[in-house]
Each structure stands twice: as C-alpha cells, then as structure tokens.
Chains A and B, each alone.
Chain A
C-alpha cells in the first residue's frame, strides 16, 4: 500500500467528520441560493430558493427507491439466466 492509499484509509476512519463536512457544504450551497438568482430563468419555478436542491434530492430519492425496490424486483433474473444460450460456455465454466 502506498502513501496515498494509507492517506485514504486514514480518511475513511473519520467518516463522521466527513459527514459534517458534507452537511456544511449543502448548507453553504443553499445559503448562496439566497444571494444568487437566475437572470433569465429557464422555468418559472427556478426563482424559488432551493428549487434545484429539492429537484435533485427528491428526484434521486424517488428514482432510487422505485428502481431498486419495485422495478429491479420485477426485472431480476439470476446472473446466469441467459447462459443456457451461450455457445461459448461449457457446463463447468461460469464465465
């Protein structure tokens, strides 16, 4: 393991600290939204403070939850589902 690797491993031990760094970053971005506004809004909703923050958060949450719990369950097959059609796979070989 080289020095850079050790540095990252060390940083990982401070996950709790990094969590607060992330929260501070989010708060800072949101605070800046009070000062910075679009000149030519693409859509009227952009004028609301935190619109894009909410869009990102809710969008990702809805997407993640629906896809990972419902859609993925509906579409899921075993990893080797198609292997019976694979001309290159023998019985004892699973790729």
Chain B
C-alpha cells in the first residue's frame, strides 16, 4: 500500500524552516519557486491511492489520501503557489516568504488529510501562517494589526468548532475518519464541523472576517490568501458534506450577498474580497445540490477561480504597489501608464464574469446548468442574477473607475512595477484564456464522469446576451455607480457589539467582584501574611541568606532573557507558541518513532 510519495507540504515546510538561517541578501530568492515546482511535479505524477501514515502518540495520522477530488485541488494549489512566489519574488523580507510557505504547506496538508485529526493540525497551521501575511503589513498600514487580531480570533473560533465537533464525533462513532455524511443522517457534531468549515468558506453571518482582513494584508499576501483559505474549505465541504440542501441555499445566498456589497464598495481590494465570498457561493451551491454535474462544476469553478482571483488580486495589488492606494475614488485614468496591468485585470474580470473564451465561463455554466437540470430553477436563477452583479461590479465598475473614467492625474507618482509581478500576471492571464478556449485541459482533472460541452451555440449566446445587456445597464447608470469614500457596515458591526458587551462584563461586574475581593483580602489576608513573614524573616536571617543570593542572581539573568522575549506584541507570542508547539509535537513523534 505504501509506495514512495512526495508530499508537497514537505518542500514548503523545509523552506520555511531554513529560510531564516540562510545568509546573504537575496540569492536565496531563487529557492522560492522550488517547493512549488516540486509540488507541481508531484501532483502530476501521483496515482490515486492511500499513501503515508504517521504514528503519532498512539494515533495514526493519514497524511496521504490521494484521489481525484484531492488531486484537482492540489493541482491548482501547486500552480497558484508557483505563480504566487513568482509574484512575490522581489520581496526582501524573509518573514513574508516564511509565512506564505507555512500557509501553503498547511493547505496541501488539509487537502491530502485522510482523517479529521490530521486535517485539524494542518488547518491550524494555515490559520497561523495566513495571519502573518496580514500582520507583516502593519508598518505600512495601521489597520493591519487589528485586522489580523480579528482574523485570528475568528479562525480560532472556527477551529474550535471543528475541534469540538471532531472530539464529540469521536466519542460517538469511535474513529477520526473524514468521510461523507448525508444531511438527513447528520448529528449535531457533524453540523459543528460543517460550520467550522463554514467560517473559512465565508458563510453569510460568519463571513465578515474576509472583507475585513484581506484588504489590509500585504500586496503579495492577499494574492496567496485569495487562493487557499476559502478553497480548502470548499474542498472539505465537497469531501464531507456533498448534497446538503442547507449548502445549496447558503451558496446562492453567498453568491448574491457578495455581489450586493461589491456593487456598493469603494476599496478595490474589498470589492475583490466580497467577490471571493460570491464566487465561493457558486461552489458551495454546487456542492449542496450534490449531483455529479454540480460537484464537477464546483471543483472546476474552484480551479478556475483560484487562477482568475489570483490574477485580480495581482493586478489590483500592482495598482496598490505603484500608486499607493486601492481606493477607486482616488484612482482613475491609469490606462495610459499601466496598460499591461489593465489588460491583465480585464482578462481576470472577463473570466470571473463568465465571458465565453475565458475560464470562468466553462466552470460557472457547468454549475448553473447542473442546477437547472436538477430542477432547482430558483437556485439557477439566483446564480444567473449573481453573474449579472459580478460583471456589473468587478467586470465593469472596477476597471472603469480605476483605468478609464477620469483623465490621468499626471502629478501622481507611479512606482515602477517589478518584472516578476508582470511575469506572474502574464502566466495567470495565459492560463485563464487557455482553459477558456480548451476546457478539456481543466475538465480532465474533474472527479466525476460527466459529459458537458460549454460551447453550444445557445450557451454562448445566452452568456453574451446576459452580460452585454448588463454592460448596457452600466452605461445607462454610470453616473449612479460612481464610487464614494465610505465604509458600508456589515456583520462586523454585530461582532463589535458582541465584543463590547463582553468587555463591559469584564470591566464592570467582574471588576467590581475583583475589587471587593481585593478589599477583603487586604483586611484579612494581609494580617496572616504579616505573621508568616515575621516568622520567615527570622529563619531567613539565621539560615539561608547566603544560598539565596546565588539563586537571586540566576533568576535575574533568566528574567532578563525572558524580558527580551516579552515584547507585549500578540503576534510575537503567537509565533513563539507555534514554534514551541511544533517542537513538542516533533519531540513526541521522534520519541515514539525511535524509542
């Protein structure tokens, strides 16, 4: 059963471990694409099967479940990882590369995990890696620190839902197997796990972390994050929860909710963030409908989405990099000076909108046609409406106001964009068009056998009619669509309310209790303490003065060392905690293995 097997996680983890210790200024950057290249070779050569288990502390962790479903996700993860590291190639800060490596390695671990325990470990690794992609932007962006803390809190809650679910499930069924469950047969612990995945998939109500955090991440960090977090959640839902009616409705709801907010939004990276929610909605809906065709549609859409969404974040990231802002009301008229960025953006915008000859068309139509063929007309119509909103907001509004609407502000300084960023955008654009023209390139990876031909005359014409007349509507109301500098409140408003209520409870009732206790303690406790102290001081003077002096000096030295570690910054503590946890886990594994 166990053949030799290169797990793509290994390369990324290894690079994350050695990168901080490599000397020299920049030669190491040529190492960055290597783990992704190794991952690409691995996913293209792996045959389905069960590879590699690790015995750890009496548990058997199944780290290599390879089948068509895990392979299609691993395939696009590997390709996007390569594109992402090319895009980030110019960065001299090793910390950003380390964070990205940890994050990507976690995502491969999740996709190949055969049991819930393994999945959970890698799930948390992803969460930790990704939060640093936000925090490392803190010196450029004052909002990054808070956004990262909120992001991490939210993903911790999601992780705890999964942990609670999998522990309760283990108690009930006696195993950690990550296998499908039907909604009708689901127990409360299955729902807990599903909602834990739902946090990462950005279910409505649980989604506000996404448009809160992604716009504050580093330029390159957002490119990575747009690909992996939500799509690993899509994978886990497809694996465990296919055919859940709840997901079908939630998915269409997400698809619409995301475009509604994107239509109103001003910050380009927040528009794209809401569109992640919306596009993931299509995938969740496909999973929820649960026919072979819609499941294929969900997987195909995840693949196409990772490519075009990465391209969207890369081109908007290039705008942010060169102009210093991603706010539409501050941009405009840039087509003359950044024409290639505009072209890359338009390729991505046509793809996400589902124009024929771009890859969004060959994947989105599959999900929608699948919904109609399963006689879910309402869901199908909802997705068509979301497609209209998608083209309206991200296909026309964003590029129009960023590149065309106003005359170029000639006094605006534009930082030159490094060649590697252009190269990454070029590769993505090429792939988006290639898959749009030759859908078999994408369809060959799909997990189920389904005959689907996107290029029937009617399907092409239907898409052209739908989107072209959406364009006409934009033309008619282009003055209404002008973006304004504003923040549209979303569910984060309720999160903050909840947080403040919690703070209130801590601050007033608990603080009162604390001061009451302190008062009692002072009157009664201190008297006793003084008596004890009198006794021990006699003992001290007569007995152990000499010995104590030596201990005190040692303690002071340890204290000084520890003080260096205590920076008072949450992100530093988190990094230490992860290092410690990794060390402990490795030690236990090593002891188990060799003793």
Contacts and interface: CB of A to CB of B under 8 A. Distances in A.
Contacts of A82: 487, 492, 496
B487 A57 contact: no
A90 B142 contact: yes
A10 B337 CA distance: 13
Interface in B357-379: 369, 372-373, 377
Interface in B258-278: 259-260, 263-264, 266
A76 B486 contact: yes
Contacts of A95: 141-143
B163 interface: no
The residue among A29, A46, A59, A81 with the most chain B CB atoms within 10 A of its own CB is A59
A53 B263 contact: no
Interface string A25-61: 1100110110011110011001000101111111111
Contacts of B144: 88
A82 B337 CA distance: 34
B404 interface: yes
A42 B468 contact: no
Contact of A22 (B471, B485, B486): B471
Contacts of A20: none
B542 interface: no
Contacts of B487: 76-82
A52 B354 CA distance: 14
B488 A53 contact: no
Contacts of A88: 138, 141-146
Q: Give the interface residue-count category, chain A.
A: 35 or more
Interface of A is mostly: helix
B585 interface: no
Contact of A12 (B260, B340, B404): B404
A82 B404 CA distance: 31
B284 interface: no
A2 B385 CA distance: 39
B49 interface: no
B381 interface: yes
B145 A5 contact: no
B392 A63 contact: yes
12 contacts: A8-B339, A12-B404, A29-B461, A32-B461, A38-B458, A56-B470, A63-B263, A76-B484, A77-B486, A77-B487, A85-B496, A86-B145
Given A42-B372, A53-B466, A68-B480, 11 more contacts: A22-B471, A39-B456, A50-B465, A56-B388, A56-B468, A59-B388, A63-B385, A65-B477, A76-B486, A82-B496, A87-B146
Interface of A: 1-2, 4-9, 12, 19, 22, 25-26, 29-30, 32-33, 36-39, 42-43, 46, 50, 52-61, 63-65, 67-69, 71-72, 75-83, 85-90, 93-95
